[in-house]
Amino acid sequence: MEDKTISLNSKKILMQVFTPDVKGYDADQVDEFLDQVAKDYQAFEDYYEDSKKYIVDLETQLRKARDTGSQLEIENAKLNNRLSGIKDGDNVNSGNIELLQRINRLEKELFRLGVDPRKI
């Protein structure tokens, strides 16, 4: 299996020293090329670090969205349960409106007294 670890970084490349040889390459050209390679490595390292941070941010957002979705599903189930007694065929009439207004007044009074009518 191939080793996928990165052994070089921009600092190692910049600090690399070659021993001169009579038949060797021009040291200035080698330095210039290694400077370019080190610059590319630095760009890669910066991109890699930014990508890791971005992934963490996305995972956090995803976790929050899932939590919110779960809370909304629970709230939806509660509301569906609360409304399960209402039939589609129920006609709206003045009696129903009066009852709804009375319920509204009673709920307001319960809230004023510090009681949450949704938890009764």
Q: What is the pLDDT of residues 80-96, one digit of tens each?
A: 887 777 665 556 677 77
Closest C-alpha among 6, 13, 17, 16 to residue 36: 13
State the average pLDDT for the chain: 84
pLDDT at 35 over 90: no
Q: What distance lies between CA 100 and its chain's CA centroid?
A: 42
* Residues 110 and 116 sit within 8 Å (Cβ to Cβ): yes
**Position 52 confidence tier, pLDDT thresholds 50, 70, 90:** very high
